[in-house]
Structure 1
Amino acid sequence: MAQKQVALLELGGSHSECMYAQIQFLQSRGYGVHIVCNAHLWPFFEAVTGLAGHQLHVVETSIKNHWGIWRRLRAYLKANSIHTIVVNTAENSVVRDLTVLGLPVKTWAGIVHNGRKFNRGFTLRKLILRKIKRCYVLNDTLLLHVLPPAGIKLGCFYPIFFPQLEATPLEKPAGETWVTIPGSVMPSRRDYESLLAQVAAKGLPAHVKLIFLGKYDAAKHPDLASRLQSLPRRSQVVTFEQPVPEPLFQSYLAQSDVILPLLHPGVNMFEQYIQTRISGAYNLAFAWKIPLLMERSFGAWEDFARHAVLYAVPDLLETLAGLVQSPDQLQARKAAMEADPKFAFAVQCQRYMDLLQ
């Protein structure tokens, strides 16, 4: 029997980290996996072993550009006998045009990252989902809050499996605790102000470091830069002027003790994060089995009720200090995450394949 072929499509320019787990799931079930993505994303995948092929695109906003992508992709699918497409980011204009024009495949599936669009997004509901009938979300709690149109099969998986890269050596002094805030530094998305105001007033415990694990542009965020520079112990805060290379990113995660997403009431899209969105920080915590520190509004989420320490914003630093002063509690929480069957490869692979097949 000929090997089944599947194309993983990411033409939205982001969420590429969600493709690693899918590649592993599909390869473990004997599929030939083809990557179709923005050309600038290919460096994230070129070291992945066992891929059946790839096609790269430069994506623009014009109809002419989308027409050209459609023609090239249609030819690639036919040439490689690919009858299944999984769209890694379903809600974008390129996918809209590809679904309207149509492609020679039998099965469309896709990940919807902004679950709110299930409920009120015209383009997703009325155009894209006319073709994509199998949709994934990326946390079980989102299933309680999204309302897809009739006829849509909805499932959930956690993309928490990553290629093991050669570690970048990092020196971590014995007894030091690393509290990591993953992602590019974006004050509109995360409440750095509340954290840093408390640190400025009370100071960090001497053995704690805050790791801002993403690009930090001081010129773009002068207020934040001023706040950081005025801290009494600036050496306890680690920042990066450039995007963090993936091997270094993973090395910091491997030695992190706490993940702090900093999603607080008042940040942009907070109400969506409560019900219909996730932060990529969650899946990094689940992948590396790192306890989370979450604002108490998230206590209704099953995963956080089990694996996070909850806090009120005014008590953030006090809660953090109490947690890092209890290494036994941190180890117990890490062990509980490692023992949780939900995070096992076999479980998540089965969830993914149940919807696709």
Structure 2
Amino acid sequence: MNIAIVEISESHEECIFSQVSFMKDAGYSVSLIAHPKVIQQAKSYASYFSNIIEFDGDVKGIKIRMRKSIQLFNLLKKYDKVMFNTASSSKIIRNAVFLLNFKKTSCVGVIHDVSKLSSSFTQKVISTKIKKYVALSEDLVAAAKVPSDIKLASFYPIFFPNQEYEDMKKNKEEIWICIPGRVFFSRRDYRFLIEQLANQTGLDNRIKFIILGNINTTDGIQFKEEINGLNLQNYFVFFEKFIENATYYNYLKSSDYILPLLNKNDKSYVNQKITGTFNLAYAYKKTMLNDEYYKVIPNLLAKSYFYTDNSFINVLNSLSDKKGKQYEEEKWTYKFQQQQYINFLNS
């Protein structure tokens, strides 16, 4: 079977490796049709693909979008099956998928926000062809309102290209709490962290917050200045430039805990979408620290320690006496996820 994975925007590259690995191990020939930045990010596993085609879908204007839609359609109609790595939002994807209604090409899509299945007009157009979607968490499948003609399954994109893990020279007494990604106040509740640390007394000096992203955003510079102004810089590790994959994954592997630092009471993470930070924790089998609001998510309940506004510092100070959560369930294994994914792809 000849399959294409499509990602024409520069987002969600982290989902692609697991999928191509699953398909390649099942004996399929897989092409990648993707935005140039995605192709650059995927260079470490380019050999997994039989063919790689650049396609930039970040365009404006009705005429150019229609031209791009027809171009994408002409590429995709040659394949037996197409997996859309982001099967929503894009008008080019919408148009190309609609045109594929007139071809035998089978289509499946990754849905990053399951609420769109029942609420988005664009999604309804896409769903005239795509009848099978995969979400990035079984919790989202359980929460989703799914139209009767749609099948929805889940998989966890928690497998990454092999890395050479070097010694991070971590003091074994230190407790590393990783916050992945560049600093944007709109994405994570860094303000909560600043306020909690500003009011703290007696925080365990073995704690290190690893801000795992280039600090040089407008918000990142402000965040670092506020931390320095509070004389808390000894509790932090910052990076002043882009972090190469090997270093990025080494820090994740070496961290003791992951702190998603979601804005409290953000319901979208309960029943609509998943932050990639959750899947990074699942991938490296790390215990998360989450606000108690998110106890309603079964996977988080099983793999997190929880805090409130009043208990955050106490929870941090208790970490040296805790053991991390165990990942003993079969669902976290490559074999299980690969079989589930391939079975659904072929159903």
Q: Provide the TM-score with structure 1 as the length reference.
A: 0.89
Which residue number in structure 2 is paired with residue 326 of structure 1?
321
Which residue number in structure 2 is paired with residue 129 of structure 1?
127
Gap change, CA 1:164 and 1:65, over 3 Å in 2: farther
Taking the aligned partners of 1:167 and 1:67, their CA distance within structure 2 comes to 46
* Unaligned ranges ≥5, structure 1: none
In structure 2, what residue type is equivalent to 1:356? L
In structure 1, what residue type is equivalent to 2:247? L
Q: Offset at 1:106?
A: 2.5
Q: Offset at 1:67?
A: 3.6
Which residue number in structure 2 is paired with residue 147 of structure 1?
145
Q: Secondary structure at the match of 2:17?
A: helix
Q: Deviations over 1:189-238 (max 9, x none)?
A: 21112222222222642111101112323534565343222232303211
Q: Is the 8 A contact 1:133 1:152 kept in 2?
A: yes
Which residue number in structure 1 is paired with residue 250 of structure 2?
251
Q: Secondary structure at the match of 1:9?
A: strand
**Between the two proteins, what is the percent identity of the paired residues?**
28
In structure 1, what residue type is equivalent to 2:94? R
Q: Is the 8 A contact 1:153 1:355 kept in 2?
A: no
In structure 1, what residue type is equivalent to 2:169? E
**1:311 matches 2:307:** yes
Q: Is the 8 A contact 1:293 1:308 kept in 2?
A: yes
Q: Is the 8 A contact 2:72 2:96 kept in 1?
A: no
Gap change, CA 1:105 and 1:319, over 3 Å in 2: farther
Which residue number in structure 2 is paired with residue 167 of structure 1?
165
Which residue number in structure 2 is paired with residue 92 of structure 1?
89
Superposed, 1:187-226 pairs within 5 Å as 187-202=185-200, 204-220=203-219, 223-226=222-225
Q: Deviations over 1:122-142 (max 9, x none)?
A: 211x21111111101111111
Q: Is the 8 A contact 1:195 1:316 kept in 2?
A: no
Q: Offset at 1:352?
A: 1.1
In structure 2, what residue type is equivalent to 1:236? Y
- Root mean square deviation, CA, Å: 2.0
Q: Deviations over 1:52-88 (max 9, x none)?
A: 111101221233433443444444446xx52100001
Taking the aligned partners of 2:301 and 2:226, their CA distance within structure 1 comes to 32
* Unaligned ranges ≥5, structure 2: none
Q: Is the 8 A contact 1:218 1:225 kept in 2?
A: no
Q: Is the 8 A contact 2:183 2:219 kept in 1?
A: no
Which residue number in structure 1 is paired with residue 335 of structure 2?
346
Q: Offset at 1:14?
A: 0.5
Taking the aligned partners of 2:316 and 2:69, their CA distance within structure 1 comes to 50
Greater CA deviation, 234-243 or 108-117? Answer: 234-243
In structure 2, what residue type is equivalent to 1:343? W
Gap change, CA 1:295 and 1:67, over 3 Å in 2: same
Q: Is the 8 A contact 1:110 1:132 kept in 2?
A: yes
Q: Is the 8 A contact 1:9 1:36 kept in 2?
A: yes
**1:271 matches 2:267:** yes
Q: Offset at 1:272?
A: 0.7
Q: Secondary structure at the match of 1:102?
A: helix
Q: Secondary structure at the match of 1:47?
A: helix
How many corresponding residue pairs? 341
Q: Offset at 1:344?
A: 0.8
Q: Secondary structure at the match of 2:48?
A: coil
Q: Secondary structure at the match of 2:10?
A: coil
Which residue number in structure 2 is paired with residue 7 of structure 1?
4
Taking the aligned partners of 2:227 and 2:35, their CA distance within structure 1 comes to 35
Q: Is the 8 A contact 2:20 2:48 kept in 1?
A: no
Taking the aligned partners of 2:115 and 2:287, their CA distance within structure 1 comes to 27
Q: Secondary structure at the match of 1:119?
A: helix
Q: Offset at 1:12?
A: 2.5
